[in-house]
Amino acid sequence: MSIRQCCLNSVKQVRHGDRVWTFPFETGADIIAVLRTQLAYEVTRGLTLSQQMRGGALELDGLTGEAFRLALEKPFGWEGKLFAKLILTDIARASDLRRDYDAGVAFGPSDVVTEAEATHWLTSFSAEAERLIDAVTKVVKATLNEAFRTGSVQTIAYGARQFGRAYRESLEWAARLRRAHLPEDWRPLAKELSVMLADITTEIERFASDLERQVNDIVSAPDAVSTHLSVTFNLHVPEMERFHAAIREFKRKRGLE
C-alpha cells in the first residue's frame, strides 16, 4: 500500500470511523475562520451548560465524566445509560477485590471457628447472601423504576450506589469465608457459600453490561421514540444447587439423614 493510500485511509477513519469533525483548508485564513467558528460554538455550549447547572447543581453533585454529561444533557435513554455507567464505575473501583477472588488470594485477618460456633457462623453468612440478593432486587422494584419515570438523577445515583455496595460486600464476605479456619467437615460448606456470594457479583456485572448494551440498541434504532425505560433484575445464582449438595454431604457424614 502506498503512502498516499495510507494517508487517505487514515483520513477516512478519522472522519467516518472515529466520527471526528474535520475541516478542509488551503490557507491560513481558512484555519482562522474555522477556529473562530468552533470557539464561538464551544463558548455557547459552555454558557448553555452553565445555565442548566444553575437549576440542577445539587442533583449533579458527585457525578463526573460521562455520568455528569448524561445527567446534565439528558439525551434520549439517559436514565438507563446513567444507571449502567455508575454501576460499572463502582465495579471498576472494586476491581482489585475481584482480581483477588479470581486469583484465589485472600488477605487480612482470619476467623478461627470452633465446632460449637460453626453452625451459627455459617448461618450468618447464608443470611448475608440472602440480604444482599433481597436488597438489590428491592432497589430495582421500589426505587429505580419510579426514578426512571420521574427522571430523578439523585435516585438513579442512589440505586447505582446500592448495586455497587452489594458488589463490594459480596466480594468482601466471600474473601472472609476463604480466610476462615473451620473444622474439616465444615470447609466444603464455606467454600460453596463463598462461590455463591461471588456469583452475586457476576450477576451484577452482567446486569450492568446488558443494560448498557440494550439502551444503546434502543437509542440507535432507526425508529427509536422517546419512552420511559422499565428495568427488572432477576438474580440467578447457579451455584445454589452445589451449596445444597454440600449441605446434604455434610449431613450424610454426620449421620443426620
Distance CA 85, CA 67 (A): 7
Closest CA to 215 of 205, 229, 225: 229
Q: What is the pLDDT of residues 97-106, one digit of tens each?
A: 999 989 888 8
Contacts 24+ apart (CB under 8 A), 208-215: 208/84, 208/87, 208/88, 208/91, 208/163, 209/84, 209/88, 211/80, 211/83, 211/84, 212/80, 212/81, 212/84, 212/85, 212/88, 214/80, 215/77, 215/80, 215/81, 215/84
Q: What is the pLDDT of residues 63-107, one digit of tens each?
A: 888 888 888 888 888 888 898 899 999 999 999 999 998 988 888
Domain layout of the chain by residue ranges: 3-53, 66-253
Structural contact between residues 136 and 59, judged by C-beta atoms closer than 8 angstroms: no
Predicted confidence at residue 223, as pLDDT, reads 67
Q: Is the pTM of this model over 0.85?
A: no
